[in-house]
Amino acid sequence: MPTPLMIGLAGLGTVGGGMLKLLDTNRALIERRAGRPIRVVAVSARDRHRARDVDLSPYQWTDDAAALAARDDLGAVVELIGGADGPALVIARETLGRGTPLITANKAMLAHHGMELAALAEARGAALKYEAAVAGGVPVIKALREGAAANRVARVQGILNGTCNYILSAMESEGVSFDRALAAAQGRGFAEADPSFDVDGTDAAHKLAILAALAFGTRLDFGAVRIEGIRRVTAADISEAAALGYRVRLVGQAEAGPVGLFQRVAPCLVPLGHPLAHATGATNAVAVEGSHLGRLLLQGAGAGEGPTASAVVADLIDVARGEAGPAFAMPSDQLAVLAAADAGARRGRAYLRFTVADRPGVLAEITAATRDAGVSIASLIQRGAGPDGAVTLVMVTHAGEERCVADALRRLAGSAGLLKEPMLMRILGE
C-alpha cells in the first residue's frame, strides 16, 4: 500500500472543518486521484473546547500551532488560521524552513510576505500551494500558473470579493441602500460584524496582488494597489448605472507593460456586454486575456465551507502526487520588478455624481471646471430637487486621461454649491 501523506491542520474554522468533512466524505475518490491515502493526524486551533460540527477525536490535538509545524512526522501542513502576521506567518516560516510543503488559504499573508515565503520554499525544495487564497473554489491559480503558462497575459479583471458582490447585487435587485444590503449580508453570514476588510476593498486587493504576480511574472507589490471600497455607492448610483446600460461591481484590474504595473480595486460601471456584469450574489469571477487563449472566464463560489475546502484538498492532492514547482510559476528571483504605472495617464470614460444645492450657477460652475480640466462631457442628467432641496447631477464623460477628471474634481473642492463629495466611478472597457 502506498505511504499515506500525513497532514497537520492549523485552524478549525469554517474552512478547516469543511476540509476534514470533505476528506472523510470523498476519501476513496481523493485517494485514487492522489495515488495514496491522505491522513490528517494532528490539528491545532485557538480554542480547544469550542463547539464544532466535526468530530476531532481521531486527531492529535496540539495547543501550540507552531509546535504542530515543527513535527517530524508530517508530509504537509495546512494553515487556515488567517492574518498577515502572527501565528500564521510563524507556521508558514517554520513549515517551509523545514522543507515541508505548505497549503494555505491566507491571501493577506501571501500579499504581504509572499516573496519571502516563495523564496524560502524554493531554497528548501518545498511546495507552497494557495489555490484557496483567491476566489475560493474557482481554480484561478491553477488556470494562470498552468493552463495559461504559455501565454503572455495582457490583463486580469475580476470580481474578487463575494461580500461586496452580494451587497451590490442586492442594491440592484431590491433597490435598497448600502446599509440595508450590508445588514442583509451580515444576516446571511456573507459579511463579518466588522465588514471593513471586505467593503473597503482590502480583501480584493490582497487577491489582486497575488493574481498580478502570477499573470505577469512580476514581484508581488501589494503596496502599489490603488484601493477604493463600495461604502459611498448609493441606490441612486445603481439605478443611474442601470438606466445607462451598466451594472456596478467592485472590480480588481491589473495590467503590466512598458509604463509599469497597474493594479486597482474600485467600484466600476460594467457594460452589460462584459461577462463580469453577470456575476451576481456572492459569486467571484475572473477574466484573463491571454495572447493565444483569448479571454478566459472563471466563475463560481468565492467563499464558503465547501468551495474553499475543495480548493485546499485539490492542493493536498497535488502535494500527494509530488507536484511542486515555484509558487508564482517561475523562480522568485526571476520575477520582474516593475514600477507602479501612472494611473493618471490611463484613458477611459467616467461616471460622476454630484449632489448640489438647488440654485442658479451650480451647473455652470461644474461644467466650467470640467472644461478647464480638459474633460469632455458625453451626457448629463439632472434630477429634480429632493425633500432636502438637494439636486442630483449625473455626468458621463467621453474617453480621456484620468488625471483630467481628477483635476476637475480638485477645481470643485470646497465649492459652496456641492453638498456632498462627488462620486467618481470609472467605466470598464468592453
**Enzyme catalytic residues:** 207
Q: Confirm or deny that 202 is annotated as ligand binding.
A: no
- Cα distances from 108 to residues 83, 104, 134, 189, 195, in angstroms, run 6, 11, 10, 21, 15
Q: Confirm or deny that 107 is annotated as ligand binding.
A: yes
Measured CA to CA, the distance from residue 156 to residue 252 in angstroms comes to 8
Measured CA to CA, the distance from residue 305 to residue 26 in angstroms comes to 15
Q: Confirm or deny that 11 is annotated as ligand binding.
A: yes
Q: Confirm or deny that 13 is annotated as ligand binding.
A: yes
The dihedral formed by the CA atoms of 115, 296, 298 and 140, expressed in degrees to the nearest 10? -20
Q: Confirm or deny that 15 is annotated as ligand binding.
A: yes
Q: Confirm or deny that 12 is annotated as ligand binding.
A: yes
Q: Confirm or deny that 17 is annotated as ligand binding.
A: yes
Non-local CB neighbours of 426 within 8 Å, separated by 6+ positions? 266, 268, 269, 348, 349, 350, 351, 402
* Helical spans, DSSP H, in 35-132: 65-69, 87-97, 107-124
Q: Count other C-beta atoms under 10 Å from residue 308's C-beta.
A: 25
Using alpha carbons, select from 102, 91, 121, 79 the residue that is nearest to residue 328. Answer: 121
Cell numbers representing residue 203 in the block: 480583501
261 and 224 in contact (C-beta within 8 Å)? yes
| Binding-site residues for NADPH | 107
| Binding-site residues for NADP(+) | 10-17
| Binding-site residues for L-homoserine | 192
| Binding-site residues | 10-17, 107, 192
